[in-house]
Amino acid sequence: MNGVLKTASGLGWTLAGFIFFGFQGRFWERPAIRFPAGRPTADFSGGEHRSNRAFPPPAGREKGRSPIAAERVTTDIHLPPGDREAIVEYRLGETESRVSLFAGNRVWAAVLPEEDRIERSVLGFIKETGRSSGNLDSIRKAARRIAVELIPFDRELAGLRVDQLIVIPDGILNCLAFEALRTADNRAFLVEKYSVSYAPSETALKSFWTKPGLPGRRLLAVGASDPDQGRSGDAPGAYFRCRAIRWVRNEIDDVSRLFDRNHRCVYLDREANEENIKRHRGERFQVIHIASHGRPDDRVPARAALILSRSPGDDGDLRAEEISGLGMAADLVVLSACRTASGAVVSPEGAGGLPLAFMRAGARSVMATLWRVPDRSTAEFMADFYRHLKSGLGKSRALRAAKVDMIRRGRSHPFFWAGYVLQGEPNEKIVFD
């Protein structure tokens, strides 16, 4: 496949070392993946038995362990009226884990295996979905198995006619694209049946629902297609292997033309710099869309950055710790750059890194990426996403529609569509005119 690549990783233990040979990327090279001590990794060597090594046997199915069963209880939690939504919340533990389904003002709870077993069960799947060379048949088999293990609520969901899932993940599950799992009948990916979004915590989700959006400008669009221009290897903030991204300009043009020119701010190439973004400190937008290289930081998520063009007085690296203090609120932030969902899990508010930084600055939702994705198809994907937004769909449903479009165009491998994830408020509609 030709084209420049963007990158992204999960929100928990990041996937920096998953190599995607033959691609260029919207990324700054980082050392290979380092999982916490004792965390097992999957073996991908070998031929026809590769899937057996990549995807271990189902977690929690050893002899003597009872099948997972759901328990129905009452709750005071209320979902937005009229919506067919369900919240799926995970709590991973050393001896056992738990999953709860919140829907229809009720809760169903189930016991899952301990955290280490869940990690062993899903890690191979996470690695395979994040690379275009991953075997699709093996991915589908593993996707079905993991769905059975992690979402034991098929009957409850069907009975409630739920069509939207909001996932509150924990630990390694922050790296898992749930929309790439399979439906109960194994006929489709989960995204073909449900809209899927994510939330850092139940508290954060409630705050999004109870604090409605406020009027503001329609669009702030930033596209740094070649931020290496003007940088030397000895300059502060210099970095290497950061190639020009051909399709950034197309992406920004496609997005910006949907908005009234009197209500949009667009910065391209050399103007896509920290100085221009910081001019909007304290302002509010419907949408902030940034297309650039990204630089995740696996050890210190606050130092994760969007790589922009340099301007006098700054190094061009817009870091998460800077973003948090900008106070730039938005109904939707789209981070179309390298591994923008990367960040360590922090308690109690979920994922760190760039998404959390924008949420702290006032964003109600953030769309970021879980792995490296092709530059050209990303521009096409974003065009589909915004087209569905403009048609009147809410954010999560517009994202689902764009993913289904990709599948129906023959790109059914999750690598091409499952890496784009929405965190935060899922239902709000965007005003374009």
pLDDT tens-digit profile of 265-295?
A: 999 999 999 999 999 999 999 999 999 988 8
Q: Which domain holds residue 316?
A: 213-424
Question: Does residue 4 belong to any structural domain of this protein?
Answer: no
pLDDT of 10 above 90: no
Question: What is the structure's pLDDT at 81?
Answer: 52
Identify whether residues 162 and 251 lie together within a single domain. Answer: no
Q: H or E segment at 85? A: strand 85-91
Dihedral of CA 150/151/153/155: which sign?
A: negative
Q: Inform me whether the pLDDT recorded for 243 exceeds 90.
A: no
Which residue has better confidence, 406 or 300?
A: 406
Say what the pLDDT of residue 311 is: 84
Rounded CA-CA distance 251/253 in Å is 5
Handedness of CA 402, 404, 409, 412 (dihedral sign): positive
| H-type alpha helices, 55-201 | 115-129, 136-150, 154-160
Out of 206, 228, 251, a domain closes at 206
What the block records as the tokens of 301 is 């998520």
Per-residue pLDDT reduced to its tens digit, 28-45: 333 332 333 333 333 222
- pLDDT for 428 beyond 60: yes
Residue 15 counted as domain residue: no
| For range 157-164, the mean pLDDT | 87
pLDDT of residue 346: 46
Pair 285, 409 in one domain: yes
Residues 353, 383 share a domain: yes
Q: Tell me: do 172 and 217 sit in the same domain.
A: no
CATH of the domain at 279: 3.40.50.1460
What is the total count of domains within the chain?
A: 2
CB 149 within 8 A of CB 121: yes
Whichever domain contains 77, its CATH number is 3.30.420
pLDDT tens, residue by residue, 187-199: 999 999 999 999 9
Average pLDDT over residues 356-385: 91
Residue 218 burial by Cβ neighbours in a 10 Å radius (0-12, 13-18, 19+): buried
Is 105 inside a domain boundary? yes
Same domain, 181 and 270: no
Q: Which residue has the higher pLDDT, 37 or 104?
A: 104
Domain check: are 117 and 242 in the same one?
A: no
Name the domain boundary from 145, 179, 206. Answer: 206
* Judgement on whether residues 239 and 377 belong to the same structural domain of the protein: yes
- Highest mean pLDDT, choosing among 13-17, 242-246, 377-381: 377-381
256 and 313 in a common domain: yes
> Distance (Å, rounded) from C-alpha 84 to C-alpha 104?
8
Report pLDDT for 226. Answer: 82
Instruction: Look at residue 61 and tell me if it is in a domain.
Output: no
Looking at residue 169, its pLDDT comes to 95
Say how many Å lie between the first and final Cα of the chain, rounded: 37
Q: Final residue of a domain: which of 206, 239, 257?
A: 206
